[in-house]
Structure 1
Amino acid sequence: MRRVRKPINQINVVPYIDVMLVLLVIFMVTAPLITPGVIELPTVGSKLTPPPSPPLKITLNADKTFSLEDQLTKATQKRLSVNDAVAQILELQAKQERPVVIEAAANARYEEVIKLIDLLQQKGVKKVGLLARSPT
């Protein structure tokens, strides 16, 4: 008598598990042998950024004269012409490059402010700003 074979209705996964275990062993053996790449991290510099130097404040008065205030030494010069003010700023800038802040009186002409900014930029002053007060 011959036996009738029934078809197997389940998948045999044992060979797949064997292959996966062999691959796992291969990766576990080779992983420590691979040399890791050297990463050079940036170091924190010991040099600290110096604090910003206080600006030179120049005020345009209503009578077209200028007042120059050095906030580092608290020295104030009043009633300067535009050329004298620029010369004083350049003299102070020769020691240390500092920003220049321009303040104008409420009734001053803005053409004078523009002239001063142009003169300062022509003479090589790099940092020029305007000082405005908020209305209260």
Structure 2
Amino acid sequence: MAALASRGRGRRRTINEINMVPFIDVMLVLLIIFMVSAPLITTGVVDLPSVGQSRQQPKQVIQVIVGSDESMQIKLDGGEPQSVTLKLLAQRVKDAQGDAADTPVVISADRKVKYEAVVNAMDVLQRAGVQRVGLAVKNAPAQP
């Protein structure tokens, strides 16, 4: 609040001062409230998916292998890998799928491969309308 002070001749002048005591009191009360309520808050649990064996293996799997030099190969049902360019990847996968558009496509890459190369392969396949695109992972050893 502004207080009015009088000087010698009856002339009143307002004094603009901020009283910090109520502000500090409110801050201390809020601090105590938060300190008391913080241990009572339950932490959220994030349920991450685990990598495991699928119940039923698909009949046919198309595997796209991305090499460390960003070259690509396509492998059908354990056959010999065939080299393919990124531009022709979607067409080759579509041809391999034939009438079965739900045939899964698995992208395999080494750790040393740039992430961008793998994402580019996924992007090309998804833009071409390939429905089931996934990444190959290595099963981690069981934790004791």
Question: TM-score, normalised on structure 1?
Answer: 0.55
Question: Does residue 126 of structure 2 align to residue 121 of structure 1?
Answer: yes
How far did 1:77 drift? 3.1
Following superposition of structure 1 onto structure 2, how do residues 1-136 of structure 1 map, counting pairs within 5 Å?
A: 52-71=58-77, 74-97=78-101, 98-134=103-139
How far did 1:70 drift? 0.6
**Equivalent residue, structure 2, for 1:17:** none
How far did 1:83 drift? 1.8
CA RMSD of aligned residues (A): 2.2
Runs (4+) off by over 4 Å: none
Question: TM-score, normalised on structure 2?
Answer: 0.52
Q: Distance in 2 between matches of 1:78 and 1:65?
A: 11
How far did 1:96 drift? 1.9
- Structure whose CA Rg is larger: 1
Structure 1 counterpart of 2:122, which letter? I
Gaps spanning 5+ residues in structure 2: where? 1-56
Change over 3 Å in CA distance of 1:77–1:85 after alignment to 2: farther
The total of aligned residue pairs comes to: 85
Q: Which SS does the other structure have where 1:90 is aligned?
A: helix
**Equivalent residue, structure 2, for 1:36:** none
Structure 2 counterpart of 1:89, which letter? V
Structure 1 counterpart of 2:133, which letter? V
